[in-house]
Structure 1
Amino acid sequence: MPFLPALAQDQVDPAGERLFSLCRNCHEVGEGARHKIGPHLDGIIGRVAGSMDGFRYSKAMREAGENGLVWDAETLDGYLAKPREFISGNRMSFRGMEDPEQRAVLIAWLATVSESVPGSLVDDADNGREAREARSFADIVLAMEGDPDYGEYLAGECVTCHQETGHADGIPSIVGLPREYFVKALFEYKTNVRRNEVMKLRVSKLANEEIAALAAYFSGLEPQ
């Protein structure tokens, strides 16, 4: 599969955007995209693996880039097919996309929107009342200076599901997660923007100071 240059918007199958829904919980793409659980994908074509500033990559991903891995259509195709086999030890929880035609459509779409879409892609719920509430509550916590030592004390319940190493085996990693995203995500569970009854139950018990402390702790960790 050869290198794929960015195409004009009307040349790309809109099915690519639908396929990206599988990625959207962890990645943003387009102008203004930010790091989430995974790094943003703006400018992904031609990027050296594990090279984005401000994101804590796994050791495996950093080493892949140091050894010369660059994301183009061919390498993305191999990675999306079987992420854990393509880069052993990487943290991405996505198990892979089997259909080569779907991979080709998604990659072609990424090649275009990572260069041309104004603004980052967000969930439809971001336009709703619950999402506005989550953002306003998150702003209050983000104004606090969280205590990472207190966060480490509180983290015991988190690491019963999320691995302390930063590896992801079906459950997303929270090690090294950007502080702003961590806080916003917890409030989205509180306000039902994100639907997970286990997370909602656990987050509902946390005070603002505790959320700030957990965010300070986990954002400061380096994935192994």
Structure 2
Amino acid sequence: MMKRLITTALVALAPLVGPATAEEEAQLIGDAERGAKLFAQCSGCHQIGPEAQNRIGPHLNGIFGRRAGSLEGFDYSRSMERASGDGLTWTYQYLDAYIENPRVLLSGTRMSFRGIKNEQDRHDVLAYLRQFSANPQDIPEAAPTAIAREVDLPPDILAIVGDVAYGEYLASECLTCHKRDGSDDGIPPIVKWPEEDFVIAMHAYKRKLRVHPVMQMMAGRLSDEEIAALAAYFATIE
């Protein structure tokens, strides 16, 4: 049933977001320099550039023309896997629709981003992403991009091996808001996060670099070992 709904949605959108001509794409290309600044709101989950890796979300190198859900080693949501099976490929128009509102294009995605409503902002972000794609061939790869951590933590904190069982014990409080199955009811999912990303996010709340009073309070009560344990648990939760 779900596969049929996704297929129907993609078919319905096809006349609106199907392949564009070279002339149409040229008109859509925005300001890549401005897009690099706007991409900051995406960088908490996605990396891009020569050293980019899959983190909370897949890396976005070579995204244009790539089959959805196709990066080896990344654990996609079931809805993204179904869309991949239905043939969803990231054209300029599909990316534009997904960035505008991920859950309209693909219900059930784990991507909790609310979307970019301003059309020019989307074109600028996509122009920036195009610099890291070999398609089209006449757009060169961008220069190396430094990927700075949100919090510069000492190596000994990042090296702590979290105790999964202890993390499961501690997680009951987290799961009063966050969903264990990774679904999103207005609160971002935290399952399947890379452990380092989870640790960095929690320490950012602990140092009040991330603005959310409840999360600042929760993180402030946790020791480094407890944060590592929670990171280990949520990274492996099924």
The interval holding the TM-score normalised by the smaller chain is 0.7 to 0.9
Alignment-derived partner of residue 75 in structure 1? 94
Task: Say whether residues 1:63 and 2:82 are aligned partners.
Answer: yes
Number of positions where the alignment pairs a residue of Structure 1 with one of Structure 2: 208
CA contact (8 A) 2:32 2:126 kept: no
Residues in 1 aligned to 2:111 and 2:205: alpha-carbon distance in whole angstroms: 21
> Taking structure 1 as the reference length, what is the TM-score of the superposition?
0.81
Alignment-derived partner of residue 116 in structure 1? 142
Alignment-derived partner of residue 179 in structure 1? 195
Structure 1 stretch displaced more, 190-199 or 112-121:
112-121
The verdict on how the C-alpha distance between 1:42 and 1:66 changes in structure 2, with shifts beyond 3 A counting, is same
- CA offset digits 1:94-151 (Å, max 9, x no partner): 222233333222212211145424134447xx5xxxx33xx21xx3243233221111
Residues in 1 aligned to 2:200 and 2:87: alpha-carbon distance in whole angstroms: 35
Task: Extract unaligned runs of 5+ from structure 1.
Answer: none
Residues in 2 aligned to 1:144 and 1:13: alpha-carbon distance in whole angstroms: 39
- 1:19-168 correspondence runs (5 A): 19-113=38-132, 115-122=141-148, 126=150, 131-132=151-152, 135-136=153-154, 139-168=155-184
CA shift for structure 1 position 168: 2.5
What's the Cα RMSD here?
2.5
**Segments of 4+ moved more than 4 angstroms:** none
Alignment-derived partner of residue 2 in structure 1? 20
Residues in 1 aligned to 2:21 and 2:162: alpha-carbon distance in whole angstroms: 45
SS of the counterpart of 1:155?
Answer: helix
Amino acid at match of 2:158: L
SS of the counterpart of 1:186?
Answer: helix
The verdict on how the C-alpha distance between 1:120 and 1:3 changes in structure 2, with shifts beyond 3 A counting, is farther
Amino acid at match of 1:211: I
Residues in 2 aligned to 1:51 and 1:121: alpha-carbon distance in whole angstroms: 23
Amino acid at match of 2:89: V
- CA offset digits 1:7-49 (Å, max 9, x no partner): 9xxx844221232233223222212123343222222222221
Task: Extract unaligned runs of 5+ from structure 2.
Answer: 1-18, 134-140
Alignment-derived partner of residue 205 in structure 1? 221
Residues in 2 aligned to 1:183 and 1:202: alpha-carbon distance in whole angstroms: 13
Q: Which structure ranks higher in relative contact order (CA pairs < 8 Å, sequence separation ≥ 6)?
A: 1
Residues in 1 aligned to 2:21 and 2:229: alpha-carbon distance in whole angstroms: 44
CA shift for structure 1 position 153: 1.1
CA contact (8 A) 2:100 2:116 kept: yes
Amino acid at match of 1:57: Y
Structure 1 stretch displaced more, 79-88 or 36-45:
36-45
Task: Look at both structures and tell me which one has the larger radius of gyration over its CA atoms.
Answer: 2
CA contact (8 A) 1:30 1:119 kept: yes
CA shift for structure 1 position 156: 0.9
